[in-house]
Amino acid sequence: MDARKSFLSWPVMRQLTGTDRLGRGAAAKSAHTSALTARTETADRVVQSVCPYCAVGCGQRVFVKDGKVVQIEGDPDSPISRGRLCPKGSASEQLVNSPGRQTAMLYRRPFGTDWEPLDLETATDMVADRIIASRTAGWQDVDQNGRALRRTMGFAALGGATLDNEENYLIKKLFTALGAIQIENQARI
């Protein structure tokens, strides 16, 4: 940095030459401050979304820059929430960008004492194999009176209240076709 040039642009100099003789206002504004821009203004795009916490369904605006979420705030257009968010909704950006968020697949082998890495494709294959095996192990064709059950008690699921309708639809559809009936979510709790 050119110290001399920088010195001339110092607030002290501007204060002596401008309208702000005490150097508390216009003259004191730094170059850095002048360059400040709200990241809502510089975002590449704004995407309308819905808060993921409770069931009020507040509107959110998601600001995206370079493929990253840079800000999530209330959507003033929403007739439900009118742009407002509670503390949880206001923390949505942290939920998405949290440095502590677990973004790598992890595996714990039976009787293992710690996590191990595992690639996603292999993990999904392993789960598919286990579903088929447990489905068979827990299969019930008929009840004690010979009436059709056509189901498996070998595996179960819990969850769905935080998921999308489309996701729940696929879960229920797939599990029902497999004969799995023990599918539950928070609505029972």
Partner 1 sequence: MSNRLFGPLDPAPDAGWQDAPARKGFLTDTSICIGCKACEVACKEWNAIPEDGLSLLGSSYDNTGSLGASTWRHVAFIEQPMASTRATRPSVPVDLGMPSVGLRDAPQDPTSEQATSAQATDAQATDAQATTGKADFRWLMSSDVCKHCTHAACLDVCPTGSLFRTEFGTVVVQDDICNGCGYCVPACPFGVIERRTDDAARVDGSGLRTIVNKVKRVDKVPEKRVRDKNVGIAQKCTLCYDRLSAGNTPACAQACPTQSIQFGDVDELRERAQVRMEQLHAQGVPEARLYGADPGDGIGGAGAMFLLLDEPEVYGLPPDPVVTTKDLAAMWRKAGLAALAMLGGAAVSFLGGRS
Partner 2 sequence: MAECHPVGFQWVMEAKARGARIIHIDPRFTRTSALADQHVPLRAGSDIVFLGGIVNYILTNESYFRDYVVAYTNAATLVSDDFQDVDDLDGVFSGYDPETGTYDSTSWAYKGAAEQAAAANGEAAASDSDDGGGDDIESDESQASGHELGGRGASHEGAAQVHRDETLENPHCVFQVLKRHYTRYTPEMVERMCGVSQDDFLAVCEAVTVNSGRERTTAWVYSVGWTQHSVGVQYIRGAAIIQLLLGNMGRPGGGILALRGHASIQGSTDIPTLFNILPGYLPMPKAAEHDSLKEYLSTISSDTQKGFWTEARAYTVSLLKAWWGDAATADNEYCFDYLPRLSGDHGTYQTTMAMVDGLVEGYFLLGQNPAVGSAHGRMQRLGMSHLKWLVVRDFNLIESATFWKDGPEIATGELRTQDIGTEVFFFPAASHVEKDGTFTQTQRMLQWHHQAVEPPGDARSELHFFYTLGKKIRQRLAASADERDRPVLDLTWDYGVQGVDGGEEPSADAVLREINGWHLTGEDHSGRGDLLSSFIEMKPDGSTAGGCWIYSGVYAGGVNHAASRKPGQEQSWVAPEWGWAWPANRRLLYNRASADPQGRPWSKRKAYVWWDESSGKWTGHDVPDFPATKDPAYRPEPGTAGPAGLAGDDPFIMQADGKGWLFAPTGLLDGPMPAHYEPQESPVRNPFYSQQANPTRQVFKRKDNPSNPSGDRPGTDVFPFVFTTYRLTEHHTAGGMSRWSPYLAELQPEFFCEVSPELARERGLENAGWATIVTARTAIEARVLVTERIRPLVIDGRQIHQIGLPYHWGVGGGGAIVSGDSANDLLGLTLDPNVHIQESKASTCDIQPGRRPTGPALLRFVEEYRSRAGITVETSNVLRNEPASDNTPSSKPEGRAHE
Interacting residues toward partner 1 by CB under 8 A: 1, 3, 6, 10-12, 15, 18-33, 36-41, 71, 73-74, 83-91, 93-94, 99-100, 102, 114-115
Q: Which of 167, 127, 130, 121 is nearest to 152 (CA)?
A: 130
From partner 2, partner 1, none, interface partner of 178 (C-beta below 5 to 8 A by class): partner 2
| Residue 68, beta-bridge partner list | 65
From partner 2, partner 1, none, interface partner of 181 (C-beta below 5 to 8 A by class): partner 2
From partner 2, partner 1, none, interface partner of 21 (C-beta below 5 to 8 A by class): partner 1
12-29 burial, b at 16+ Cβ within 10 Å, e below that, comes to eebbeeeebeebeeebee
Note whether 95 binds partner 2 by CB under 8 A.
yes
CB of 2 or CB of 143, closer to partner 2:
143
Contact assessment for residue 135 and residue 178, using Cβ atoms and an 8 Å cutoff? yes
Residues numbered 39 to 78 that lie near partner 2 (CB under 8 A) are 45, 47-60, 62, 64, 67-69, 72, 76-78
Q: DSSP string covering 3-26, please? A: HHHHHHTSHHHHHHHSS-TTSSSG
